[in-house]
Amino acid sequence: METNHEPPKSKSLAMLGILRTVFIYLLAAGIIIAALLFAASKSPNKSIFGYRYYTILTPSMEPTHHVGDMVFVKIENADEISVGDVITFNPSSGSEAYLTHRVTEKMTDYEGTGVTCFKTKGDANDSEDSFLIDESRVIGAVKLGIPKLGYVVRFVQLRWYFVVPLAVLVLIFFKLMGIYLAPAENETADDKAQTK
The rounded distance, in Å, linking the Cα atoms of 195 and 157 is 57
Could you give the C-alpha distances from 134 to 8, 109, 116, 118, 138, in angstroms and in order?
70, 10, 6, 6, 7
**Closest Cα partner for 137 from 110, 163, 156, 170?**
110
Q: Are 46 and 52 in contact (CB under 8 A)?
A: yes
What is the second-level CATH architecture of the domain 51-147? Ribbon (2.10)
Is the CA virtual torsion 142, 147, 152, 154 positive or negative? Answer: positive
List the beta strands (DSSP E) in 78-168: 86-89, 99-107, 117-121, 133-134, 138-146
Cα 124 to Cα 60: distance, rounded to the nearest angstrom: 5
Q: Is 193 left (phi over 0), alpha (psi -120 to 50) or beta?
A: alpha
Q: What pLDDT does 194 receive?
A: 60
In order, the DSSP letters of 22-69 are HHHHHHHHHHHHHHHHHHH---TT--BTTEEEEE--SGGGTTTS-TT-
Q: Which pLDDT score is estimated for 8?
A: 60
Per-residue pLDDT, 7: 56
Identify which of 55, 83, 80, 54 has the alpha carbon closest to the alpha carbon of residue 67. 55
Measured distance CA(32)–CA(29) in Å, rounded = 5
Burial (0-12, 13-18, 19+ Cβ within 10 Å), 79: exposed
Is-above-0.85 flag for pTM? no
Please report, for the chain, the start and end positions of each structural domain, with discontinuous segments joined by +: 9-40+158-182, 51-147
Please report the pLDDT score of residue 36 as a whole number.
66
Integer Cα distance of 12 and 60 in angstroms: 61
Per-residue pLDDT of the chain in tens (196 residues, 90 and over written 9): 555 555 566 777 777 878 888 888 788 777 777 766 666 666 667 777 888 888 999 999 999 999 999 999 999 999 999 999 999 999 987 778 899 999 999 999 999 999 999 999 999 999 999 999 999 999 999 999 999 988 887 777 777 677 777 778 888 888 888 777 776 555 555 555 565 5
Main-chain phi, psi angles of 11, to 5 degrees: -65, -40
